[in-house]
């Protein structure tokens, strides 16, 4: 794939800034609704089965966060459109062409959110919490990156 001279002059720091900027343009309100619904269903299923405790709450919060970041990040790489300026359109176009770089942003946020949830609400050890948070972040990366890559291939 041939790249333009303009894209080649973008530094690593600028690419990180573009990835964060493009991730902020995702559909975060709908993602919050999906996350809340998913977390609520997870909590309800555990409660119906008679399981109680902070571990159940941590699991439901983790499911909610995973859905939140997966939906919001996927919307960002798909170029979720609302009212936007010309600058926003350029950032969305960059996000559509760099889905894996954009996927790193919600994945990192998922990692830290899950780490915090599990350290506060459960008695898991640090390494167990790190491992669980890491694979949850990998799931978000896989979802967002794959959605963006498939979308880019179809265009």
DSSP at 3: -
Which of the residue ranges 31-35, 65-69, 95-99, 147-151 would you say has the lowest mean pLDDT? 95-99
Please give the structure tokens belonging to residue 155: 């265009």
The model's pTM: 0.85
Q: Where are the domains of the chain?
A: 19-154
The rounded distance, in Å, linking the Cα atoms of 119 and 60 is: 14
Q: What is the pLDDT of residue 5?
A: 44
Q: Sign of torsion, CA 127 105 116 66?
A: negative
Please give the structure tokens belonging to residue 120: 């506060």
In tens, the pLDDT along 20-69 reads 888 888 889 999 999 999 999 999 998 898 878 888 999 999 999 999 99
The rounded distance, in Å, linking the Cα atoms of 46 and 117 is: 18
């Amino acid at each position: 794939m041939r790249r333009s001279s303009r894209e080649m002059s973008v530094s690593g720091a600028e690419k990180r800034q573009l990835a964060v900027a493009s991730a902020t343009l995702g559909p975060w309100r709908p993602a919050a609704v999906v996350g809340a619904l998913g977390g609520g269903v997870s909590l309800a299923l555990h409660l119906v089965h008679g399981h109680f405790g902070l571990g159940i709450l941590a699991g439901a919060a983790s499911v909610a966060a995973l859905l939140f970041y997966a939906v919001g990040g996927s919307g960002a790489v798909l170029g979720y459109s609302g009212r936007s300026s010309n600058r926003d359109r350029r950032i969305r176009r960059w996000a559509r062409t760099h889905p894996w770089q954009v996927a790193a942003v919600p994945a990192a946020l998922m990692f830290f959110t899950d780490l915090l949830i599990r350290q506060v609400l459960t008695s898991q050890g640090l390494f167990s919490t790190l491992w669980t948070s890491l694979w949850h972040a990998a799931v978000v990366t896989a979802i967002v990156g794959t959605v963006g890559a498939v979308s880019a291939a179809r265009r």
